[in-house]
C-alpha cells in the first residue's frame, strides 16, 4: 500500500490565514488524490489517485492549458492491478521513478521502479535493484534536479522510527548506490514522508507526524545541504490534519499540496496555495526573552480585549516558536478601581485574552498557564489617574 492516509470521517477546515484554492474540479474528481508533481516544461500535473475508498492507487496526469487543467487521464501503460503512485521526474520529464507494489520482481511489498518516455509512451517499468530496494517498504521517491540524488521513504532496518527518509546517490557510471539515512535532523521515532528538494531556495521539505506538530502529517523544512540543526515546521501552511506532498506550480510563489477536502465523499485532494518566498528564508530574528518588554500591552478601564497585537507579543510568539520546550505563565493585573472580586475576574480575563492570541498563532495551549491577581500587586502604589494604566497590565514569566 503506497498511501499514507488513513480515512477519517471528520472533515478538514482550514486553520491557516493563507488563501487556499482548490484546483480545477477535474483534478479532484475521485475519492482521494495526492502527492502532486508539476512539470513546467511539459505543463503537466502528475498525481496519485484512489478512485474509491479501498481501490488500488494509480498514476494520473492532467495538461495545463489556457489557465485550467484538461480532464485528468490515467497512465494506462503503467497502472496495473496493484498500487502505483508518487511519480518523480528528471528535469526534462523523460525519466520517471515511481513506487509499485506487489510486482512479480519486487524485493518487498513496495519497490521503486523507473521508466522512460520513448515513442510517445512509457517503457516497461524496471526495478531499481537491490541497492535501492529492500525486503521492506520503499515509496514516495524524489529526484534532485540534476538527477544525481534520489530521496525516498522506507521502513527498512537502520532507521530511527517507523518510516524514515533516505538518499541514494548515483555514481560516476550512473549506478545508484546503497542509500544513506538522512539522520536525526530530519528523522524521528515517528513517520517522515514526502521528501522534496526545493533547489531554488536551498530547502529540503518533508512531512512528519512527530510530536509537537498540529496533527497528522505536518510540513517541515531544513536548509540544504542538510546540517545538524533540526528541521523546523512550516507554520504558515500546516493544519491539524495530514499535509504532505508539495510541488511548485505554473506560477511563482504558488504550490500544489495535498490535504483534506471539505467534502463528505472525498478524503484528500490537491489544492493550490500561495507560499511567499520569505517562508523558505532565514528571516526570523533570534529573540531573547529577557529583552522583551511588555509595557506596550495596555488595557482600558474595565476592558480585557486587545484591539491589535502589540510588538512585544509578536516577539513572544516568535520566541515560543523558536523554543518549543519553553512554558509560559501569563499574569493579569488591574488597577484599584472597583471591587476586589470584580477585579480578580477582570485580571483573569486579561490573561486569557493573551493566551488566546498565542493559541491563534499555533502555540500549544498546554504550554500556557494563566493567573489573575486582581489589584493585589500594583506596580505603582497610590497612583494618580494617569499612573493607573501601568497597573492595568500583563506580566509574563517563561520557564
Summarised one tens digit per residue, pLDDT across range 60-113 is 999 999 989 999 999 999 998 889 999 999 999 999 999 999 999 999 889 999
Three-class secondary structure of residue 174 per DSSP: coil
* Contacts (Cβ under 8 Å, ≥6 apart) of 264: 11
Which domains are assigned to the chain?
20-280 (2.120.10.30), 289-398 (3.30.1330.60)
Could you read off the pLDDT of 166-200 as tens digits, one per residue?
A: 999 999 899 999 999 999 999 999 999 999 999 88
**pLDDT band with cut points at 50, 70 and 90 for residue 17:** very low
Question: pLDDT at position 282, please?
Answer: 64
The DSSP 8-state label assigned to residue 56 in this structure reads: P
The continuous run of DSSP H or E covering 219 comes out as strand 218-223
Cis amide linkage into residue 95, ω under 30° from 0:
no
Kindly report the backbone phi and psi dihedral angles of residue 294, in degrees, each rounded to the nearest multiple of 5, phi listed first.
Answer: -100, 25
The DSSP 8-state label assigned to residue 347 in this structure reads: H
User: How confident is the prediction for the chain on average, in pLDDT?
Assistant: 89
Go through the chain and tell me how many residues it has: 399
Q: Are 335 and 392 in contact (CB under 8 A)?
A: yes
**Selected residue with higher pLDDT from 39 and 13:** 39
Integer Cα distance of 21 and 11 in angstroms: 16
Please give the model's pTM, rounded to 2 decimal places: 0.69
Could you read off the pLDDT of 286-317 as tens digits, one per residue?
A: 678 888 889 888 888 888 888 778 888 888 98
Amino acid at each position: 500500500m503506497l498511501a499514507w492516509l488513513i480515512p477519517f470521517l471528520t472533515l478538514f477546515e482550514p486553520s491557516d490565514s493563507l488563501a487556499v484554492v482548490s484546483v480545477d474540479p477535474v483534478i479532484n474528481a475521485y475519492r482521494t488524490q495526492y502527492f502532486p508533481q508539476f512539470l513546467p516544461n511539459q505543463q503537466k500535473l502528475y498525481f496519485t489517485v484512489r478512485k474509491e475508498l479501498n481501490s488500488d492507487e494509480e498514476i494520473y496526469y492532467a495538461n495545463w492549458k489556457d489557465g485550467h487543467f484538461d480532464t485528468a487521464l490515467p497512465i494506462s501503460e503503467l497502472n496495473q492491478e496493484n498500487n502505483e503512485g508518487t511519480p518523480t521526474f528528471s528535469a526534462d520529464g523523460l525519466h520517471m521513478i515511481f513506487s509499485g507494489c506487489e510486482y512479480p520482481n519486487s524485493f518487498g511489498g513496495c519497490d521503486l521502479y523507473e521508466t522512460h518516455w520513448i515513442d510517445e509512451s512509457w517503457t516497461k517499468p524496471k526495478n531499481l535493484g537491490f541497492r535501492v530496494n529492500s525486503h521492506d517498504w520503499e515509496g514516495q521517491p524524489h529526484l534532485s534536479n540534476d538527477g544525481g540524488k534520489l530521496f525516498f521513504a522506507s521502513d527498512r532496518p537502520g532507521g530511527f522510527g517507523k518510516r524514515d527518509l533516505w538518499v541514494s546517490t548515483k555514481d560516476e557510471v550512473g549506478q545508484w548506490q546503497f542509500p544513506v539515512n538522512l539522520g536525526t535532523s530530519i528523522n524521528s521515532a515517528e513517520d517522515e514522508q514526502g521528501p522534496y528538494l526545493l533547489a531554488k531556495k536551498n530547502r529540503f521539505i518533508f512531512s512528519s507526524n512527530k510530536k509537537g506538530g498540529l496533527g497528522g502529517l505536518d510540513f517541515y523544512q531544513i536548509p540544504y545541504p542538510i546540517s545538524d540543526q533540526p528541521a523546523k515546521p512550516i507554520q504558515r501552511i500546516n493544519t491539524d490534519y495530514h499535509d504532505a506532498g508539495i510541488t511548485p506550480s505554473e506560477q511563482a510563489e504558488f504550490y500544489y499540496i495535498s490535504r483534506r477536502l471539505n467534502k463528505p465523499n472525498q478524503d484528500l485532494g490537491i489544492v493550490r496555495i500561495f507560499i511567499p518566498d520569505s517562508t523558505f528564508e532565514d528571516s526570523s530574528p533570534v529573540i531573547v526573552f529577557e529583552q522583551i518588554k511588555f509595557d506596550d500591552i495596555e488595557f482600558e478601564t474595565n476592558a480585557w480585549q486587545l484591539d491589535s497585537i502589540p510588538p512585544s507579543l509578536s516577539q513572544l510568539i516568535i520566541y515560543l516558536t523558536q523554543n518549543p520546550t519553553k512554558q509560559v505563565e501569563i499574569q493579569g493585573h488591574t488597577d484599584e478601581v472597583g471591587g476586589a472580586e470584580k477585579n480578580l475576574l477582570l485580571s483573569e480575563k486579561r490573561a486569557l485574552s493573551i493566551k488566546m492570541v498565542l493559541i491563534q498563532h499555533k502555540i500549544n495551549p498546554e504550554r500556557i498557564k494563566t493567573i489573575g491577581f486582581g489589584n493585589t500587586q500594583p506596580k505603582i502604589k497610590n497612583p494618580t489617574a494617569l499612573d493607573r494604566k501601568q497597573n492595568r497590565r500583563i506580566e509574563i514569566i517563561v520557564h
